Amino acid sequence: MNLLHALILGLVEGITEFLPVSSTGHLTIAEKMLGLTVDDPGVTAFTAIIQVGAIIAVIVYFRRDIARLISAWVNGLLHRGVRRDADYRMAWYVILGSIPIGVVGFLGKGIIAGGLRNLWVVVVALIGWSIVMLVAERMATQRRAEPDITLKDALYIGVMQCVALIPGVSRSGATISAGLFRGLDRVAATRISFFLSIPALTAAGAYEALSAGSAISASVGWGATLLATLVSFVTAYVSIAWLLRLVAHHPITVFVGYRVALGVVLAVLLLTGVVTPT
């Protein structure tokens, strides 16, 4: 992979990671268009590792919230009286809500890195999950704000996050939709989506860096990987701020038209043989 390819893929990752359009789906499409083998172990590892740049952007953007949650969690472990604090409970919600995707991601790694890395899967997921997003907005009451989040909400959203392991679904699309189904307002659903992304994507990136280092060196290169990670950090930071402003005033269904159009165009390219599925 040359540095121009890395720059392009870093931009794609950073822009799409937190928008409900599927960063993995977009990366799979972009990698294929750049002539890369999307199910190559090195390319798969690269896709997971550069997400760490986007996660660092979340940590920097929400640094005060994260510091407050960590402080409350540690104090709550040491002092019983602090355990009534909303930040202490939220910290546990993020931890427990992250367990489902960790388990499913580990057990299903072979399928996720292999069979699901197929552009037909991306087509079906882009269009299919758009329907779920429409239903979520239609059913949303938005009567509950962030202080109203419960453990049941966090676990429900955490389980739905597992669906985003399918390229084309979108992790934010899955988690924000789940929050809307639970009656949360869009801002609360989006913020907990960001918080839940930190353990999930950090663990995935760290695991790939440690387990697939040789594959990265052989087919991608660490220079390209680090460049793409840096670019994804910068663009993701801007994307986070923009998305929070957007969901405060607009439904997530504003992305549905784009998702469906992209799925249709990709299907046409596959049917006409312009691109191949893997």
The confidence score (pLDDT) of residue 137 equals 95
The model's pLDDT over 37-85, given as tens digits with 9 standing for 90+, comes to 877 788 888 888 888 899 999 999 999 999 999 999 999 999 888 888 9
Residue found under tokens 């996720």: 112
The encoded tokens of residue 113 equal 């890195």
Does the global pTM surpass 0.85?
yes
The confidence score (pLDDT) of residue 156 equals 96
Query: Exposed, middle or buried, 98 (CB in 10 Å: 0-12/13-18/19+)?
Result: buried
The confidence score (pLDDT) of residue 6 equals 94
Neighbour-count burial for 23-55, b at 16+ CB within 10 Å, e otherwise: bbbbbbbbbbeeebebbbbbbbbbbbbbbbbbb
Percentage of the chain beyond pLDDT 90 is: 63
Please tell me what DSSP assigns to residue 274: S
Taking the CA of residue 71 as centre, how many other CA atoms within 13 Å lie in the half-sphere pointing to its CB? 6
The confidence score (pLDDT) of residue 204 equals 79
The confidence score (pLDDT) of residue 213 equals 74
The confidence score (pLDDT) of residue 46 equals 87
In this prediction, the residues of the chain whose per-residue pLDDT falls under 50 are none
Q: Which amino acid, residue 131?
A: I
The confidence score (pLDDT) of residue 113 equals 67
